[in-house]
Amino acid sequence: MNHPNNLGLELHTLVSRLERAGDRILRADHGMSYRRFMVLVMVGELKACTQRALADSLAVTEPSISRMIAALAGTGLLTVTPDPAGGNRRRIALTDAGRELVERAGTELIGRLTELVESSGVPFDTYLAHTRRLNAALGGG
Amino acid sequence: MNHPNNLGLELHTLVSRLERAGDRILRADHGMSYRRFMVLVMVGELKACTQRALADSLAVTEPSISRMIAALAGTGLLTVTPDPAGGNRRRIALTDAGRELVERAGTELIGRLTELVESSGVPFDTYLAHTRRLNAALGGG
DNA sequence: TGTCCTAACTTAGGGCTCTAAGATATTGCC
DNA sequence: GGCAATATCTTAGAGCCCTAAGTTAGGACA
Please give the average pLDDT of every successive group of 10 residues along chain B, which has 141 residues.
73 94 94 95 93 94 95 92 84 95 94 93 96 88 52
Question: Quick one: pLDDT at residue B133?
Answer: 95
Handedness of CA B114, B27, A1, A131 (dihedral sign): positive
What is the rounded CA–CA span in Å between residue B13 and residue A60? 8
What is the rounded CA–CA span in Å between residue B99 and residue A113? 37
Cβ atoms within 10 Å of B71's Cβ, excluding its own: 13
Residue type, B19: E
Of B16, B41, B113, the CB nearest to A7: B113
Cα dihedral: A14, A19, A21, A27 (round 10) = 180
pLDDT average, residue stretch A60-70 = 95
- Sort B112 into a burial class: Cβ within 10 Å, 0-12 / 13-18 / 19+: middle
Residue type, A57: S
Nucleotide nearest to B34 (CA to C1'): C16
Whether A34 contacts A25, CB under 8 Å: no
Contact B109 A8 (CB under 8 A): yes
Cβ-based contacts of B7 with chain A (< 8 Å): 110, 113-114, 117, 124, 127-128, 131
pLDDT at A127 over 80: yes
Question: Quick one: pLDDT at residue A68?
Answer: 96
- Sort A12 into a burial class: Cβ within 10 Å, 0-12 / 13-18 / 19+: buried
For A69-111, write each residue's pLDDT tens digit.
999 998 999 999 998 887 789 999 999 999 999 999 999 999 9
Of B18, B110, B139, the CB nearest to A138: B18
B40-59 per-residue burial string, b: 16 or more CB within 10 A, e: under 16: bbbbbbbeebbbebbbbbbb
Q: Is the CB of A138 under 7 A from strand D?
A: no
pLDDT at A37 over 90: yes
Question: Quick one: pLDDT at residue A4?
Answer: 58
Q: What is the DSSP letter of A59?
A: T
Whether A59 contacts A136, CB under 8 Å: no
Cβ-based contacts of A42 with chain B (< 8 Å): 3, 9
For A46-58, write each residue's pLDDT tens digit.
988 999 999 999 9
| Structural element, H or E, at residue B120 | none
Q: Would you mind telling me the total number of residues written for chain A in this entry? A: 141
What is the rounded CA–CA span in Å between residue B141 and residue B127? 18
Nearest chain B alpha carbon to A37: B9
Q: Is the CB of B24 under 7 A from strand D?
A: yes
Question: Quick one: pLDDT at residue A86?
Answer: 76
Main-chain dihedrals φ then ψ at residue B124, nearest 5 degrees: -55, -50
